[in-house]
Structure formats: C-alpha cells, structure tokens
C-alpha cells in the first residue's frame, strides 16, 4: 500500500487541488508575474532533476547496487522521468498563459492542479535522492 501511495500521490494531490480550486471559485491573478515566476522555478526544477538523474546513473556505491538488484532503481528512474515531464508540462502551461486568457476557469484549474502535481513529484524525487546521498 505504501508503494502504491508513493507512486500516485503527486497525481492525487494535483486532482485534489483541482477540485478544491474549482469549488472555491477563486479568481486567478491576471498579472503575468506569477506565470513568469513559476516558469522560472519549474525550469530550474527540470534542470535539477536532469542533473539528479545523471548523478544517479554515474554513482557507483553499494546502495546503488542494492537498488539495482532490488529493481527499485527502475521506480526511481520512473519517478525522475515523471517529475521532469510534469515540470515541462507546467512550463508549457505557463507559456500558454502568456498567450491565452489567464482568467479562464479551465486555465486556472489546470494551472493549480499541474503546479501541485509537479511540485509533489519534485519533492518525491528530492526526498528519495537526499536519502540516497545520505547513505552513500
């Protein structure tokens, strides 16, 4: 059950955030400042995640060998890939926000959900990578 939650919680949190935003009927900010800021942060996350993947692949330690032997390395690589794709999707949505009506409800709901999902996926990978670095 714990592994199932670990695999799905970024998406679950994103869906919950969408529902809560939709029910709150809140207004999304109309300025480009939030779009610009989150585009920058998400782009930095993508760079960090790609670097983490490169570090993980190049590491040679007993812990990495244990991860490979257990098959959990495949899960970890999948988590990194998911986090990269979610953050790239969030970057794309931010760019779309520059050219579309940010006040549209579809945009704000999708923005809130994708922001929570991409941040949750980033946190999941960061937590696991910090544990690996701590034990290496």
For residue range 18-76, list pLDDT tens digits in order.
999 999 988 888 888 899 999 999 999 999 999 988 888 887 878 888 888 888 888 99
Radius of gyration of the chain (CA): 17
- Compute the mean pLDDT over every residue in the chain, rounded to the nearest whole number: 90
Q: Nearest Cα to 42, choosing from 3, 79, 1, 87? A: 87
Task: Report the distance separating Cα 52 and Cα 56, nearest Å.
Answer: 6
User: pLDDT band at 1, cuts 50/70/90?
Assistant: low
Q: Which domain holds residue 88?
A: 32-135
Q: Nearest Cα to 133, choosing from 63, 82, 69? A: 63
In a domain? residue 70:
yes
In a domain? residue 10:
no
**Structure tokens of 108?**
């704000």
In this predicted model, which residue has the larger pLDDT, 125 or 132? Answer: 125
CA atoms within 13 A on the CB side of 119: 12
Residue indicated by tokens 């900010």: 29
Domain count, the chain: 1
**Structure tokens of 68?**
């490979």
Q: pLDDT tens, 77-98? A: 999 999 999 999 999 999 998 8
In a domain? residue 26:
no
User: pLDDT band at 133, cuts 50/70/90?
Assistant: confident
In a domain? residue 7:
no
């Amino acid at each position: 059950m714990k592994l199932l939650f670990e695999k799905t919680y970024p998406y679950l949190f994103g869906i919950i955030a969408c529902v809560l935003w939709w029910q709150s009927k809140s207004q999304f900010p109309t300025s480009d400042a939030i779009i610009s800021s989150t585009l920058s942060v998400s782009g930095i996350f993508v760079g960090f995640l790609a670097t983490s993947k490169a570090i993980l692949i190049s590491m040679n330690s007993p812990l990495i060998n244990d991860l490979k032997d257990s098959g959990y390395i495949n899960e970890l690589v999948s988590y990194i890939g998911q986090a990269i794709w979610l953050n790239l999707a969030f970057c794309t949505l931010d760019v779309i926000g520059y050219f579309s009506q940010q006040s549209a409800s579809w945009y704000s709901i999708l923005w809130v959900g994708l922001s929570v999902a991409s941040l949750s996926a980033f946190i999941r990978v960061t937590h696991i990578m910090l544990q690996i670095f701590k034990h290496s």
